[in-house]
Structure 1
Amino acid sequence: MTHRTRRVLLPPPLALVGALGLLSGPGPAPVLATGTGADPGARAALAEARTAARLEEVRRDPGRLRDFLRRLPKGGDLHHHLGGAVPTESLIRLAAEDGLCVVARTLTAVRPPCGPGARPAADARTDAVFRTALLRAWSMEGFPPGRPGHDHFFATFGRFAEVIRRHRGRQLAEVADSVARQHQFHLETMVTPVEDAARGLAAATGWDPDPARLHRALLAGGRLDRLVAAARAEADAADAGFRTASRCGTPRPAPGCRLVVRRISHAHRNSPPEVVFTQLALGMRLASRDPRFVAVNLVEPEDGAVALRDYRLHMRMVAHLRRAYPRARVTLHAGELRPGLVKPADLAFHIGEAVEVAGAGRIGHGVDLVHEDGWRGLLRTMARREVAVEVPLTSNAQVLGVTGADHPFPVYRAHGVPVVLATDDPGVSRTDAGHEYARAATVHGLGYRELRDLARASLEYAFLPGRSLWRGNPTAHGYRPVPECAAAPPGHASPGAACRRLLAAGAKAAVQWRQEVAFARFERRHGG
């Protein structure tokens, strides 16, 4: 039986627009489908079951599976580096437009003029061999599959660093479009605010092992606040460039204009301790004052000599600053390691310290889990506190050579720890969210309902303000709507008055509702 469907517009009030913080303004309101006749719950259950069967039907057909997962609503990307997300072809184009040069021996982009041993990046427009060499040097393109690419992966960033310092707005516009085209609604991307100025302040302040004294020294004379103002101005300029490049606010906006974008400030863990502390303090203060910035993280290879030496010191820094800035959130790269990469003692505590000492709300990678001291107890703690793990399956395979049964992805899930799929550096890895969901479906055998819950988790554990659409601990008890929105399956019918108030009150529930509307459409399309 078929039923006519009417569409109801839910106009976003100004409070909701402000809470969402869309780079482009409110845009069109989400469309809510509601039907007549059969009970919405029964229709939704039937469409869900048929969609799950459709996934099993296409599972062994790569082309049809890819199309299914590309169209699947996939929530948000919570572990994402803006600098590593720009497609390599775009980096080469930008380098050529800016007149940059490339050092022939290292294939590193540098400022002009092109001296001995360097050539214009623009040569890649006509020299196919040179262009291919850049693609391979600046990404994982052509890297032998099945071989850990740790050194090559991390080396790419230094080679194109001069390119990504420029045109941040254009880069964000291209990345946002690619995320939106993957049917995602939220992006938390990692950036380094005013890096040179932060390093300058760190050098002027120097190191003090007492974090309270060091923090006071940074604040003295308004120095850290001037850094915050500079970082906000830098973000303003990037946002303006984004809006222009994406035609936001015009009759023909790009897809990325409707994406909710937040920034995570990161510190470079292989830098001197005064630099790490200054970058963390800047990120925390930004997250307390500017809603575009939501959290801090630590980046660079976790197995670096300085990162290993100072790991526990960094965790204590974060713990101290969390007390000073309770509104700021923390997500930490932790456990991006494997046996043989570091000595066994360094596999035994990184995730635990990130959770227990630094108080991270999420961790990234978490690959060396079973080598941690007391890892089963750690899993219980993470499940109880709902500390989510950001899992970029492709990155873990490329960088560490860890995949399949060797990956702790199913272990986290089996112990009730929230898990979200992520892309990490999709430009470098030559991947996207659809590929990550395909890996989860094919390598780990997940079905439709499990993939849908992973997508829901990526919004449930996003650093967005406001109440959730889901009650309690959804990882442990399933995704059950809160009482205000429980009259019908979310997204399958127009919300009642109480549910509308919830959606208007905060960004999280509003974005989650958008995803549920998308799921309803997806299941009608694939489940008939």
Structure 2
Amino acid sequence: MATIVATVTITTGMAAAPARGMAAGDAAARVEAYLDGIRDEPGRLREFTLDLPKGADIHAHLSGSVPTRGLLGSAMRDGLCVDTTSFVASAPPCHAGQRPARDAATDGSFGDDVVRAWSMQGFTPGAESGHDHFFATFGKFGAAAAHKGEMLAVVASRAAAENEFAVEAMLSRQSGAIGELAKKVGYDPDPARLRDRLLAGGAMAAIVKAARADADADLKEMRATLGCGKNGADPGCELPVRFVLQVTRTSAPEVVFAQMLLAFELAEADERYAGLNLVAPEDDKVALRDYRLHMRMLGYLRGLYSKAHISLHAGELAPGIAPAGDLRFHIGEAVRTGKAERIGHGVDIAGEDGSAGLLAEMAGKHVLVEIALTSNCQILKVCGDRHPFAAYRKAGVPVTLVTDDAGIEHTDLSGEYERAITSYGLRYADVKTMARAALDHGFLQGRGLWRAPDDYVPVPECAGTPLGGATPPAACKALLKASPKARAEWNQEAAFTRFEDRYDG
């Protein structure tokens, strides 16, 4: 496979694209024909989706995104212990019922057992459901996920190899400190008073400062691991990285609000912190009890802060997993009250009150749905025709494909595109639109390359010139220099040009 590298510089902010000997429409038509000819050839389809310029995996929890064997390697290197029954990793010394993680180096059976416990590899539903197994993995390997910079390096390297142009990583920051502050302050049902109390005295400002220092350290470690700035540096060095702060929806209300507030404060102070998302099982009893409260909290904070983006796990539910009543309002509440710009999963849309109207509203507001086909099939048993993927597309709701999560699910973004093409008969024009949508709705800052959301007509500054070309007009060049989002999209268009030249028949 020929790896496409996104080259971004502060001077030009663009990647050069070769001259084309045919109209763009002709090339795209030939790629359509090529795809039709390889749909039933897994090897060639895999090569095609690997080479496809995919934008970004915009729904990825950092600790769940790295290969499970890599986490096990970290556990071995750090001298961690693994419980032989629960397979929970913990700090040494090892006690009765535990084994050193390093035993996996000499006992392959033990290593395989750990990998199965920490991921969906080889999982067969039985007494434990796919839903429960997936969510339990985070608690099992948590102690092995301490090296965020190294994990970021793995994710960025793979993203570049898969022809992505940005990294969005969901992670938690300063959880202990924010929990202590929330406990000290206590809960107040008035969000304005609660915010004032959390901000008083400088404790929140200190946590923001510490979280920014965490980002500095992690990115420094990532760049060192990738050899950035040296000859032979990994292509992942060139990708912009943005953090989406995780808010644990199963926590006490004051902790949830404090975590939300931290995310909004961080986004105002540091462009690397681009947004927030609520994580943990949506069907947890606390998450269900407080769902509407959480949406009101977000709506309140959205009214005070302008920079943080909001993407929400909403509708990651199915009959039998949550009470029937909760399948009727979660997505609508996320869009209308929680001000979500993107929805993760959205599997239960058909059961929402006024589903048709909600779909139209999401289309009109350009609320994108992050479609996780493998995850939804494994966790919720919602696969194939049971999945609302086609319904969202028919309603004009923007969608893109995501992994959630590549490490745990043993998939990758290219595999999600393969699955979508084979399961839903997608055309090249369809996958190109979804790949563009990942950056269009991504949380990189700045004006985008497109005139309006989801129309993929270039802004006036860049109209009339080959997108991704080496010599954009001055106004377009200025936009690319000023805007991380426009640069990433320009690089993707350059890659589409190369891709279509390669696969035009």
After TM superposition, the score normalised by the length of structure 2 is: 0.96
Amino acid aligned to 2:346: G
Aligned to 1:527: 504
Asked if residue 159 in structure 1 is aligned to residue 140 in structure 2, the reply is yes
Query: Superposition RMSD on alpha carbons, in Å?
Result: 1.8
Asked if residue 411 in structure 1 is aligned to residue 388 in structure 2, the reply is no
Aligned to 2:247: 267
Aligned to 1:497: 474
Determine the C-alpha separation between the residues in 2 that align with 1:241 and 1:261: 13
Asked if residue 253 in structure 1 is aligned to residue 230 in structure 2, the reply is no
Aligned to 1:69: 49
| Matched residue SS, 1:431 | coil
CA contact (8 A) 2:8 2:487 kept: no
Aligned-pair CA distance for 1:145: 8.0
CA contact (8 A) 1:92 1:121 kept: yes
CA deviation map 1:61-84 (0-9, x unaligned): 111111111111101111110011
Aligned to 1:149: 130
Determine the C-alpha separation between the residues in 1 that align with 2:478 and 2:322: 52
List gaps (5 residues or longer) in structure 2.
1-5
Aligned-pair CA distance for 1:48: 1.3
Asked if residue 124 in structure 1 is aligned to residue 99 in structure 2, the reply is no
Pairing of 1:181-260 with structure 2 (within 5 A): 181-260=161-240
Name the stretch that deviates more: 339-348 or 464-473: 464-473
| Matched residue SS, 1:83 | helix
Match of 1:299 among 279, 282, 292: 279
Aligned-pair CA distance for 1:493: 6.5
Asked if residue 506 in structure 1 is aligned to residue 491 in structure 2, the reply is no
Aligned to 2:461: 484
Aligned-pair CA distance for 1:33: 2.1
The 3 A distance-change label for structure 1 pair 10 and 435 is: closer
CA contact (8 A) 1:34 1:493 kept: no
| Matched residue SS, 1:76 | coil
CA contact (8 A) 1:44 1:492 kept: no
Aligned-pair CA distance for 1:45: 2.0
Match of 2:15 among 30, 51, 55: 30
CA deviation map 1:8-47 (0-9, x unaligned): x998445x77xxxxxxxxxxx6223235xx5xxx432222
Determine the C-alpha separation between the residues in 2 that align with 1:205 and 1:160: 31
| Matched residue SS, 2:295 | helix
Determine the C-alpha separation between the residues in 1 that align with 2:483 and 2:271: 13
CA deviation map 1:413-463 (0-9, x unaligned): 111111111111110000100011011101111011110110001111111
CA contact (8 A) 1:75 1:459 kept: yes
Determine the C-alpha separation between the residues in 2 that align with 1:375 and 1:10: 43
Amino acid aligned to 1:515: Q
Determine the C-alpha separation between the residues in 1 that align with 2:478 and 2:129: 50
CA contact (8 A) 1:492 1:520 kept: no
Amino acid aligned to 2:348: D
Determine the C-alpha separation between the residues in 2 that align with 1:380 and 1:494: 40
Pairing of 1:91-102 with structure 2 (within 5 A): 91-102=71-82
Determine the C-alpha separation between the residues in 2 that align with 1:243 and 1:199: 30
Determine the C-alpha separation between the residues in 2 that align with 1:491 and 1:170: 31
CA contact (8 A) 1:198 1:227 kept: yes
Amino acid aligned to 1:246: L
Pairing of 1:273-312 with structure 2 (within 5 A): 273-312=253-292
Amino acid aligned to 2:456: Y
CA contact (8 A) 1:208 1:214 kept: yes
Amino acid aligned to 1:287: A
CA deviation map 1:125-163 (0-9, x unaligned): 110110110110000000138996101111111100111
Aligned to 1:5: none
Determine the C-alpha separation between the residues in 2 that align with 1:461 and 1:167: 29
Determine the C-alpha separation between the residues in 2 that align with 1:81 and 1:423: 9
CA deviation map 1:179-223 (0-9, x unaligned): 111100012110101111111111111111111111001011111
Determine the C-alpha separation between the residues in 1 that align with 2:273 and 2:448: 20
Determine the C-alpha separation between the residues in 2 that align with 1:238 and 1:12: 22
The 3 A distance-change label for structure 1 pair 227 and 253 is: same
Percent identity between the aligned chains? 50
| Matched residue SS, 1:31 | coil
Aligned to 2:353: 373
| Matched residue SS, 1:332 | strand
Aligned to 1:470: 450
Aligned to 2:295: 315
Determine the C-alpha separation between the residues in 1 that align with 2:100 and 2:240: 37
Determine the C-alpha separation between the residues in 2 that align with 1:56 and 1:336: 33
| Matched residue SS, 2:17 | strand
Determine the C-alpha separation between the residues in 1 that align with 2:184 and 2:305: 23
Determine the C-alpha separation between the residues in 2 that align with 1:133 and 1:318: 41
Determine the C-alpha separation between the residues in 2 that align with 1:436 and 1:133: 26
| Matched residue SS, 1:78 | coil
Aligned-pair CA distance for 1:318: 0.7
Aligned-pair CA distance for 1:342: 1.1
| Matched residue SS, 2:369 | strand
CA contact (8 A) 1:139 1:428 kept: yes
CA deviation map 1:107-134 (0-9, x unaligned): 1101100011111000001101101101
Name the stretch that deviates more: 491-500 or 78-87: 491-500
Determine the C-alpha separation between the residues in 2 that align with 1:452 and 1:349: 32
